[in-house]
Structure 1
Amino acid sequence: MSDNDRSTSGSPDELRRRFQILERVAIFFTLPDNILHALSRRLAPASAAKGSVIVHQGDPGDTMFIVESGRCEVYVEESPGHTITIALMGPDDFFGEMALISEETRTASVRALEDCRLLTLDRKTLYETVPAESDALIELTKLVEQRKDTLPNLIARARMVAPEQAASTVAVYSPKGGSGRTTIAVNMAAALARRFPGEVLLVDLALPYNHAALISYLTPTGCLAAASQVPPQNFEEAVLGAILHHPGGMMLLPGVLRAEQADLITVDLVNRAMGILVNAFRYIIFDLGVAFTDIVISVLDHSQRVLVLVTPELSSLKDVGELLSCRLRSISTAPSRTRRRSRARSWS
């Protein structure tokens, strides 16, 4: 890998481009523009040729890398000559963030799969530029601990053989906000994951927010919406790369990182993603938003089980009545129970 000298200046176009990249990096979402501009001036460009190793497992480091262009492979060496790929990185992804917070050695190696352009940020620059009390540093520290805790799960997941059958799908829906829908969806996924660690995925489609990650104490760095922007040949790795690994064994795919990304989520995008995910997990749980959109209708129509939460209010009862009257499929109801009578359409 080649490095250029760290510069506190640059052409206006170069600084504008760096600023736009930083705006898209999840851990910097909370930083004000003046701090992002200051970081933009102090980032150092670097390049990595296809096949070169950018960081080595076990080496010390004090630098985080942001991928500007190209693709990288994150892998761990379990024994001499035997490696396991645990993640793939593309534009706007980042790695090496542990070096900014901790002086521990690198926990994984990163190899360039293509010629890559990178931006680097070292520990000294970070602490000189970003206020110590900022939310960004808190999120970065949280993310470092999250990735350290889930590294064993990533390795185990990489070794896992795909299930013989397509995933069982469960949609959790309520027409009323504040019903506890997201909490129940998270707890359902967590309970299943205790029995099947690494085989249960929660998909957060409660647009336009990503509260499932918040409730799960996870810091998202990728999302389904971002996967819609990659070339078709990289779509699968973008979807799988956006999945968060909870230390308890549950997996979580955020729909969006920012509210404005909600417009990128379409029925076609969800169907494309599900074509990949149903063959990679045993159970998939959907947390659906209140609005009865085409996406919600499609997920309800395809899911094998639907859990509808009803609050004891007249308006909620009326809305659920309309939901049950929709011609999604035949449903029979009993007190505290909903039972599927005819099989729903499947993604598999």
Structure 2
Amino acid sequence: SPVFSALPGGKGIGPRYCPSIEDKVVRFDRDEHTVFLEPEGIGSHWVYCNGISTCMPADVQLQIIRGLPGCENAEMLRAGYSVEYDMVRPHQIFATGQTKLVPGLFLAGQINGTSGYEEAAAQGLVAGVNAVRLAQGKDDWLLGRDEAYIGVLMDDLVTKTPTEPYRMFTSRAEHRLLLRADNAPDRLTPIAKEIGLLGTDLGKARLKLFEARTKQLAAINKEIDEKVLDGEPLSKWVKRPEFGESELKAVLKGEYDDATIATVSADRAYADYVVRQHNEIKRQSELERRALPAWLVYKEIHGLRAEALIALTKFGPATFGQAGRLEGVTPADLSIVAVHVRRRSSKNKATNS
């Protein structure tokens, strides 16, 4: 296998979460492995062997297939293969997907160091929207880390140095309590409408569903705030662990969609923690909104540590918030940068006046 031999290639670090069969043999102490034979389609005779992705020689792959019970006479239509690809470094792109070296060139997917279908699709959306906005002379469009996992992904791609293909996990989001699957329509539909992504028939249908859902959310919350159950406000009951979606549905008078009830149930159960996260976001938002001026030359800032100087110069963060997430940059470094920016800005104003 090229991955474990001296053949050309095989230098890159493979994806951690979908290893090849040879990688599994090396990494795991097991003497057997399950292979799933999956039909390629309803009217197809092709079968995909799920669980033995490999880049070993074709004759070896055929031996493996014919070694499976029931596959002794199988023919191999296409051999497995590996792909080793180059990637742009985090400091070479903006969070919009646009390259710093070539204005107007947008990149998305594996070339940015990611692995996975959803990760690539998310980048394609961001890059596509921003390419159109650039052509129309509009401002960049970015999602915050507290607004969507797409925002977390794009921010990580320009602030962290990857040591392996990047995958998106809930654990990477510090505000994941707000980024639940059930409230995705409420978070993202207004944004999609604002930037013009709901103009198709499907988009318009989605918007109607969202508007109906919004009315139901308001009605359910109104019932909760007004209703008393066994002498105690329902608003207190819904915070209890034992009072879940089914219990809430049973006491509501109106006819509501189950998914909408689930969202309200989660919102109410996590309400105190959500307030804490919103307060934290409010504290951080000043740094996120505070842009670092394009004229900033970090080597001119006295007192900046060498590690911070290298990181800030290399990545060229757009905001103080991004700068603070760079490895090697401390709050003290940000304070020094802030003082420098303030003094330089005051000096520039005085000169212009």
- With the length of structure 2 as denominator, give the TM-score of the two structures: 0.25
- Of the two structures, which has the highest relative contact order with CA contacts closer than 8 Å and spacing of 6 or more? 1
Greater helix proportion: 2
